Amino acid sequence: MQIYQRIIRNFSRKMEQAQIQIQKYLEDSYLTQYPSAILDVQNVLINDAKKQNVNVIQLLLKENIFHPQGGGQPDDEGQIKINDNLINVMSLQNDKAKQQVLLNLQHQQQLFDLLIEAKQQNQAVIQIVNEQQRRNYARLHSAGHFIDMVVKKLGLKWTGAKGYHFPDGAYVEYTGTLEGKPEDIQVSIQQTCDQLLNETEENDSKQVEFLNEEQLSQRLGGEVPHYFKGAQNVRYIKLCKYDDGCPCGGTHVNHVKELIKVNIVKIQKKGKFLRVSYKVQ
């Protein structure tokens, strides 16, 4: 019995290893086209945006370039290309437990058969992410980090709580108190944003590292949050020399000069939070 259990465990581990997906968007924020082999194709029933059940084709690729919604950043949008067929990606499903991003496609039997055949023949499909949208999301996310960097530089006793890096009204939220008029603090943050963007040198580009728990603890100057316990590959982003950096799974500009200008729209109290609303030019 123990031998059979060991065989089953070994088989399960091999199957899990075969399903490991490489997240290419973490390596290159501007990667918007990439070919990949198919790991799995399934017909599944999901809830759509209107909370209605809908049949979709769920596609798991060996390498993934689509950023799933998380960390205050929206889902990427785009298509896949197989042979001469362009198929829209309806939505993404982020399976955090398995570290997989699944692409949901409109259910068509002909398409399902085509993808099954491609998997059997080890034929790659091409992923195509909406490039303009990806760059816009990257700028909005980096601008949120940049504002946080400025808040720390000004010595404001605020603690980061939430980021919302969507085009319909981006903001970063903090816990803390307003020491002065919101309008005066807004001017200070705006002036410092402008100053640091202007002073950042051309060779001072974004730095990306992948850290284990011990290395992350050294960067953070103390114990790591519980959700990073035992971590081996945490992505750490540092935008420029003024930035202390932080763990982040989002897409970002390669250089803060690409932000052109960060406009501080408003600072207001929202419940127990301070909200800094912003736009990028």
CATH of the domain at 78: 2.40.30.130
The values of phi and psi at residue 142, to 5°, are: -65, -35
Outline where the chain has alpha helix (H).
Answer: 2-18, 109-120, 131-153, 182-199, 213-220
Q: What is the pLDDT of residue 222?
A: 84
Is 106 in the same domain as 209?
no
Count of CB atoms situated within 10 Å of the CB of 176: 15
- Distance CA(169)–CA(143), nearest Å, equals 13
The dihedral region occupied by 221, where left means phi > 0, alpha psi between -120 and 50, and beta the remainder, is left
The CA-CA-CA angle for residues 162, 164, 169, to 5°, reads 135
Full-model pTM: 0.89
Are residues 248 and 148 part of one domain?
A: yes
- C-alpha angle with apex 62: 239 to 91, nearest 5 degrees? 75
In a domain, 268, yes or no: yes
Structure tokens at 92: 């993404």
Enter the DSSP assignment of 257: G
Q: How many CA atoms lie within 13 A of 110 on its CB side?
A: 3
Sheet with 234-238, strands from edge to edge, namely 207-211, 234-238, 246-247
Domain identity same for 160 and 122: no
Q: How many domains does the chain have?
A: 2
The range of the structural domain enclosing residue 125 comes to 21-129
Looking at the structure, tell me whether residues 123 and 145 fall in a common domain: no
Residues 159 and 235 in one domain: yes
Among 62, 97, 129, residue at a domain's last position: 129
Kindly state whether residue 122 falls inside one of the protein's structural domains. yes
Q: What is the pLDDT of residues 201-237, one digit of tens each?
A: 999 999 999 999 999 999 998 888 888 888 889 999 9
- 176 and 109 co-located in one domain: no
Collect all residues with Cβ–Cβ distance below 8 Å to 158 and sequence separation of at least 6.
Answer: 151, 174, 175, 176, 274
In a domain, 171, yes or no: yes
Average pLDDT, the chain: 92
Same domain, 272 and 162: yes
38 and 165 in a single domain? The answer is no
| 98 & 156 share domain | no
Residues 32, 120 within the same domain: yes
Diameter of the chain measured on Cα atoms: 73
pLDDT at 224: 86
The domain spanning residue 216 has which CATH number? 3.30.980.10
89 and 210 in a single domain? The answer is no
My answer on whether 143 and 203 are in the same domain is: yes
Residue 104 lies in a domain: yes
The residue among 99, 129, 159 that closes a domain is 129
pLDDT at residue 13 above 50?
no
pLDDT digits (tens, 9 = 90+) for 128-171: 999 999 999 999 999 999 999 999 999 999 999 999 999 999 99
Q: Is residue 217 part of a domain?
A: yes
Q: How many CA atoms lie within 13 A of 151 on its CB side?
A: 23
